[in-house]
Chains A and B, each alone.
Chain A
Amino acid sequence: MASQNRDPAMPDVRAKPATTISNLNSKESHSVTKRLQQELMALMMCGDKGISAFPDGDNLFKWVGTIHGAQSTVYEGLTYKLSLEFPCAYPYQAPVVKFQTPCFHPNVDQSGNICLDILKEKWAASYDVRSILLSIQSLLGEPNNESPLNVQAADMWIDQTAYRKILHEKYETEVKSRN
């Protein structure tokens, strides 16, 4: 039965990979749901220090993640919220991950977009929410200053004391004033 249902869609998928998402049938979206449920279970079971994530309301395809700045980095003591949006082709396509909390960092832009290879060309289907959040957590402490989205942050990174001062000032004004 399943193969019969799929057959009409197959030539389209082969011809135009971009249409894959629209041609996904209910079975495939079910498998995405199943995988996201697995991830949620694993996240709640393992209880990682410094990261957490949970679906945003009833929609399992949109999560809110939280990252605490790692110890002995300039981000220690700061907490960031992120949004994770999962495409229908997840995990074959990376989720769209953005900082919701304003983040002063060489590889994060004003809108919260993150420049991280594993979310782009180096994405692999074995990555999950946990590994994404852990990667972003370590990116905070180890930025890639070669191709910065925030040039000011990249330039200041060398002077960690000054960087820390600016970072925490910005966090105070931009984040705490919001709440």
Chain B
Amino acid sequence: MASTSESEGQKEGDDPEDANKSNPSQDGTFECNICLDTAHDAVVSMCGHLFCWPCLHQWLETRPNRQTCPVCKAGISKEKVVPLYGRGNAKQEDPRTKVPPRPQGQRTEPENNGPFQSFNWGGDGGFQMSFGIGAFPFGLFASTVNLGGPRLPGAQPGTPQFEEEQFLSKLFLWVAILFIFWLLVA
């Protein structure tokens, strides 16, 4: 059974190459399907085809009404391409110097368990006021309720983490009180 699926896999890997590549060399694997050169600022479409981002962008610009993959004619859009970041590409270029900017990768945060971590208090994240004032009281409510509840198992009393959480809890409580006060006054 295993050998069957293996040979099938090999077939699938080889056939599209033969059909699409003008260049039968092994190096063709990471060549852009438009400029036929090694893909730079590489993006891959949902259908799995590799392009330089500038090449694909220009292709999409030239036909705004028919946005299809140049290789397989599948539907394609600027929003639904995934940038590829290789290792060791260390040249820190300002993305704004490039026309057009390559779309961002969509990074999904891993799921956290603690309710405290649902707010991004981390050093680099900062607190996002842009979530909107509408959702704010709910978050406050959920957090303040937790103040009286059982402690999270993660942080032991006396550890710096515990103190940090204590501090954050108090800070949060004060913010909540101030916020409710502000609501009452306004």
Contacts and interface: CB of A to CB of B under 8 A. Distances in A.
Contacts of A158: none
Interface in A74-112: 89, 91-93
A39 B62 contact: no
B25 A45 contact: yes
A41 B37 CA distance: 12
Given A124-B73, A125-B59, A3 B97 contact: yes
Contacts of B34: 91, 125-126
Contacts of A91: 34-35
Nearest to A124: B70
B177 interface: no
B33 interface: yes
Interface residues of B, number: 24
The interface size bin for chain A is 20 to 34
Contact of B24 (A10, A17, A38, A46): A46
Interface in A1-53: 2-3, 6, 10, 13, 17, 20, 31, 34-35, 38-39, 41-43, 45-46
Contacts of A89: 62
Contacts of B73: 122, 124
B35 A31 contact: yes
Residue in A35, A41, A125 with the greatest tally of chain B CB atoms within 10 Å? A125
Interface string B87-98: 000000000011
B68 A124 contact: yes
Nearest to B54: A31
B22 A42 contact: yes
Contacts of B36: 35, 38-39, 42, 128
Nearest to A121: B66
A93 B59 CA distance: 9
A17 B20 contact: no
Nearest to B59: A125
Interface in B49-84: 49, 55, 58-59, 61-62, 68-71, 73
9 contacts: A3-B97, A34-B37, A42-B23, A45-B23, A45-B24, A91-B34, A92-B62, A124-B68, A124-B70
Interface of B: 20, 22-25, 33-37, 49, 55, 58-59, 61-62, 68-71, 73, 97-99
